Amino acid sequence: MTKLEQIIEFAKALPADQQDNIANDLVALMRQRNKSIQLSPDEIADVQSALNCKNPSYANEAEVLAALGETFS
C-alpha cells in the first residue's frame, strides 16, 4: 500500500465533515502544485472503486504514522 493509499484509508475513518475538509485541502494543494495534472481513465476508475467499496479496510494510526514518517494532527 502506498503512502497516499494509507492516508486515504486513515481519512475514510474520520467523520464526514473532517473528510470534506481534507478533500478540500487536497484539491487546493493539487491546484497549487500543478494545474496540468489529469487522471487517466484507469486512475479515475481506481478512485471510484475505492470510494464505492462496501467493506473498505483502513490503515491504523501506527501504519499511517509509519508511512508518513512524522506525526500530524
pLDDT tens for residues 24-66? 888 888 777 766 667 889 998 888 888 888 888 888 888 888 8
pLDDT classification of 72: cutoffs 50, 70, 90 = low
- In this prediction, residue 32 carries a pLDDT of 76
Q: What is this structure's pTM?
A: 0.43
50-57 long-range contacts (CB < 8 A, ≥24 apart) are 50/8, 56/9, 56/12, 57/9
Angle between helices 61-68 and 3-12 in degrees, nearest 10: 150
Report how far residue 42's alpha carbon sits from residue 17's, in angstroms, rounded to the nearest whole number. 28
Domain count for the chain, please give it. 1
Neighbours of 18 (CB within 10 A): 11
Residue 73 in domain: no
Instruction: Give residue 44's domain range.
Output: 3-68
Residue 32 cell numbers, joined: 497549487
